[in-house]
Amino acid sequence: MQSAKSMNEYHEQIRESLDDSFLREALDKFAVAYKANRLMIFADIDAKGLIQEIAQAKDEALPRVEELYAQFKAEAEKRGVHVHRVETAAEANDLICKIAKDNGCKTIIKAKSMTAEEIHVNHALEAAGCDVSETDLGEWIIQLRHEGPSHMVMPAIHLSRVKVAETFSEETGKTQDSDISKLVKVARRELRVKFATADMGISGANFAIADTGTIGICTNEGNGRLTTTLPRVHVAIAGIDKLVPNIHDALRIIKVLPRNATAQAISTYVSWMSGSAEHSLNPDKRKIMHIVFVDNGRTALAKDSLCSSALRCVRCGACANVCPVYRLLGGHKMGYVYIGAIGLILTYFFHGRENARHLVQNCINCEACKDVCAAGIDLPAIIQEIRARLVEEEGTPITSSLLANVLENRKLFHTLLRFGKFAQRPVTGGTPFIRHLPTMFLKGQGFRALPAIASRPFRDRWEKISKILPDTGKLRVGLFAGCAQDFVYPEQLEAAVKVLTAKGCKVDFPIDQSCCGLPVRMMGERKAAENTAIRNIRSFDPARFDYIVTLCASCASYMKNSYAEVLAASAMRTEAEQFATRVRDFSSFVRDVLGLGEDDFVKSGESVCYHAPCHLCRGLGVTAQPRDLIRAAGEYKESPEEDVCCGFGGTYSVKFPEISSRLLQKKLDNLESSGAGLLVTDCPGCVMQLRGGEEKRGNKLKVEHIAEFLARRLR
């Protein structure tokens, strides 16, 4: 549970996690295994189709939640259940304590429920004098240690067997062996006693079916069945978002949830409870059953059109499983109660701004979560929206508003960048890296060499370049430079112009273009994001260009996927959509549109490894093209985890250098293990990060943009 009161405190907490070597190793192993297992378990299934169905069904159910609740209540009451609805966490806790008191319940057992964690029901029950025991093994371990879950499905993933043995030794008053099967036996023994003697069982619900008044819970351990069977009273806690119309919806959730959560075809136990089942000790032979539906901000979120899709979440935890930041920090620093990308979001909506403020900054926007989400939620987009709201609600940090103002004003921005090349002279030592920047500018940035600003930006070279280009071509291409290439790596653009022109394109560079706007969007500067988008759309006259090509994966995916959304409320929406259809990244353009292949290059024996930029492989779904091009011009050497983020993330690497640096080292370890001498990628941001890292590590790998590599090998 991230609890930092300030950004500095959050950085301190992050450092603690980074120093935990067990955590590092456990999460590394898990991240790699999960991806492979997930692929296998979805092998015979149309995963995208299933995810789309879940999304659609949830989107249709959400506006009907009142109707579904009324139907559920009527059906469940017919079957002997007391159904309640509460607005807040406090109301939920009061009600549950009252149910315990009214029924004379003192000892309580619980099956895992994120909603119960959300409302902190244990604290309330304990304050009311009850004895509460978790029965899910992981939950029980962390309860004994007074910790919160560090993963939604595997709450104790951060703990070693040795730590668990210590905890169990303390609990049982006997020294326990750290052998895992023995530890599991200890839990079986200790918890069986609690099952046998509890007065009340609390569970969650993975779904609540309106049509038949049924709740369903999925567990692997079977503790859910025991919790809902042994005690004479059963209280189920569910968010109102768990309501679905019918059994088919529930089956669909069962189909996706365990597959996405733990790469299982199904959870070992699924318990379907329609009404109160038999209980042989109660006078009427029926279990006393209550279902408490919790709102706690959900109705408001459902009406929030930009963020309501967060309520599609089925709590599989996959967004944490693939998050490179989670992999480094674990759930205690990458969540409050809810963990991972969905945790960043739900903390803001369920647990308030003060708990979300720092957390929500800790997304590197690599889109790995969006790619695996069981309900197709665009998690990074919602996180960016929340940042924008925080800026509106709390005002802007000075640095961010300065940058926003500068980026909105192209001339000012470019003048500053030009000025930068003079200002940096004392610090570059004549190399292409900044060498001697005063440390106040370099806090935490020592892990990579930062590039110097180019002596002449591309825009100042264009007039001369354009003079020698042919006037005609089979395709008219507008080159979008992006800031990094325009001002830092103009040679990458020159290489691209060489390739494009040689293959029959008429290339132009509209001089009014500016920053794509992604950095200001990431900082939550809404107005600046709109204005930069409008400027760029206006710079590329649709009558003059067949394609808009950019060498920056982030610019490409942002312009293609987000411009229409950024300008959704403006008169420019249609133009934004048209603009987006013409945007192409360099690799897929030269491979798919120009058809470049082996015949176009002088193939060398140069061994080349590849880093897949997040915004190319996930943002645009471009995966085969750059690898095909590398094979056409050199020897492609595969390396592990090519599609994991390099740690750049634009402003992220400045905000969280300690995390960025770890991601970079891991990335370079993987790439160097390929044995290649050259690394190519197709994003200048990644080049900046990777080349800067290699410079510090002794340049085992030469780093190039794929355009430079292809230009060198051009036949």
Partner 1 sequence: MATIDQEAVEIFKKMAAPVTIKIVEAAGLAEAMAYALDACEKRDICELVPLSADAAPQQSAEARTKVVCAPNLTDKDYKEFEGLGKGKGFTMLRKGMRDHLSGIDMAFTTADGAIAETATTILECMSDEVRLATMIAEVHVVALKKSQIKKTIYDVEDQLQKIMQKGATYTAFISGPSRTADIERVLTLGVHGPLELHIALLEG
Among 35, 59, 77, 80, contact with partner 1 (rule: CB under 8 A) = 80
Out of 43, 146, 174, 280, which residue is the one contacting partner 1 (CB under 8 A)? 280
Q: Which residue has the tokens 């090349």?
A: 421
Find the binder of partner 1 among 156, 553, 671, 688 (CB under 8 A): 156
Of 71 and 223, CB closest to partner 1: 223
337 binds partner 1 (CB under 8 A): no
Does position 197 interact with partner 1 (CB under 8 A)? The reply is: yes
> Shortest distance, CB of residue 159 to partner 1, whole angstroms?
8
State which of residues 108, 254, 301, 386 lies at the interface with partner 1 (CB under 8 A).
254
Q: Which residue, 39 or 511, has its beta carbon nearer to partner 1?
A: 39
Comparing CB distances to partner 1, the nearer of 265 and 569 is 265
> Residue 242 Cβ, how far from partner 1 at the closest point, in Å?
17
Q: Binding of partner 1 at residue 26 (CB under 8 A)? A: yes
Q: Which long-range contacts (CB under 8 A, 24 or more apart) does 531-535 make?
A: 531/408, 532/407, 532/408, 533/559, 533/563, 533/566, 533/567, 533/572, 533/576, 534/567, 534/570, 534/572, 535/410
Can you tell me which of 3, 52, 172, 268 binds partner 1, judged by CB under 8 A?
A: 268
Residue of 70, 196, 402, 568 that binds partner 1 (CB under 8 A)? 196
Report if residue 620 touches partner 1, rule: CB under 8 A: no
Q: Are 603 and 630 in contact (CB under 8 A)?
A: no
Q: Judged by CB under 8 A, does residue 455 bind partner 1?
A: no
491 touching partner 1, by CB under 8 A:
no
Q: Does 57 bind partner 1 (CB under 8 A)?
A: no
d(CA 413, CA 403): 9
Q: Does residue 2 belong to the site contacting partner 1 (CB under 8 A)?
A: no
Q: How far is CA 203 from CA 33, 208, 240, 242, in A?
A: 30, 13, 15, 14
Nearer to partner 1, 189 or 474 (CB): 189
Per-residue x/- mask for partner 1, residues 493 to 532, rule CB under 8 A?
----------------------------------------
CB contact at 8 A, 581 and 609: no
115-144 residues in contact with partner 1 (CB under 8 A) are: 135-138, 141
* 118, 199, 221, 682: which one binds partner 1 (CB under 8 A): 221
Looking at beta carbons only, is 26 or 294 nearer to partner 1? 26
Site for partner 1 in 167-186 (CB under 8 A): 180-181, 183-184
Residue given tokens 């440390």 in the structure block: 439
Element (DSSP H or E) covering residue 704: strand 702-705
Alpha helical stretches, state H, 506-567:
518-522, 526-539, 553-566
- 3-class SS of residue 107: strand
Give CA–CA dist 266/252, Å, rounded. 11
Residue 364, C-beta contacts closer than 8 angstroms, at least 6 positions apart = 324, 325, 645, 647, 649, 652, 656, 659, 660, 663
Say how many residues touch partner 1, by CB under 8 A.
Answer: 71
SS3 content of the chain, % helix, strand, coil (to 5): 55, 15, 35
Among the candidate windows 274-282, 466-474, 487-495, 602-610, which touches partner 1 by CB under 8 A? 274-282
Whole-angstrom distance, CA of residue 4 vs CA of residue 13: 8
Does residue 479 belong to the site contacting partner 1 (CB under 8 A)? Answer: no
Binding partner 1 by CB under 8 A: which of 61, 205, 209, 334?
A: 209
Q: What end-to-end distance do the CA atoms of the chain give, in Å? A: 57
| Rounded distance between C-alpha atoms, residue 432 and residue 239, angstroms | 55
Does position 279 bind partner 1 by CB under 8 A?
A: yes
The residues near 394 (Cβ < 8 Å, ≥ 6 apart) are 353, 357
Quick one: 96 or 250, whose CB is closer to partner 1?
A: 250
From the CB of 262, what's the least distance to partner 1, in Å? 7
Q: Does 193 bind partner 1 (CB under 8 A)?
A: yes
Please name which of 162, 202, 215, 156 lies closest in space to residue 339, comparing C-alpha atoms.
156
**At closest approach, how far in Å is the CB of 173 from partner 1?**
11
Q: Does 191 bind partner 1 (CB under 8 A)?
A: yes
Q: How far apart are CA 236 and CA 209, in angstroms?
A: 14
Identify which of 601, 553, 558, 592 has the alpha carbon closest to the alpha carbon of residue 576: 558
Question: Pick from 55, 59, 69, 79: which binds partner 1 (CB under 8 A)?
Answer: 79
Residue 247 is a binding residue for partner 1 (CB under 8 A): yes
HEC readout, 265-333 = CCCCEEEEEECCCECCCCCCCECEEEEEEECCCHHHHHCCCCCHHHHHCCCCCHHHHCCHHHHHHCCCC
DSSP annotation string for 111-123: ---HHHHHHTHHH
| Residue 35 touches partner 1, criterion: CB under 8 A | no
Please, what is the minimum distance in Å from the beta carbon of residue 118 to partner 1?
A: 20
Neighbours of 232 (CB within 10 A): 19
272 forms part of the interface with partner 1 (CB under 8 A):
yes
Q: Which is nearer to partner 1, 154 or 612 (CB)?
A: 154
Residues 671-690: x/- map of binding to partner 1 (CB under 8 A)?
--------------------
Three-state DSSP state, 568? coil
Question: Taking CB under 8 A as the rule, does residue 215 contact partner 1?
Answer: no
Helix, coil or strand: residue 186? helix
Q: What is the spatial distance between Cα 140 and Cα 305, in angstroms, rounded to a whole number?
A: 38
Q: Which of 19, 21, 49, 265 binds partner 1 (CB under 8 A)?
A: 265
**Does position 222 bind partner 1 by CB under 8 A?**
yes
Contact set for partner 1, span 282-311 (CB under 8 A): 286-287
Site for partner 1 contains 113 (CB under 8 A) = no
Nearer to partner 1, 145 or 286 (CB): 286
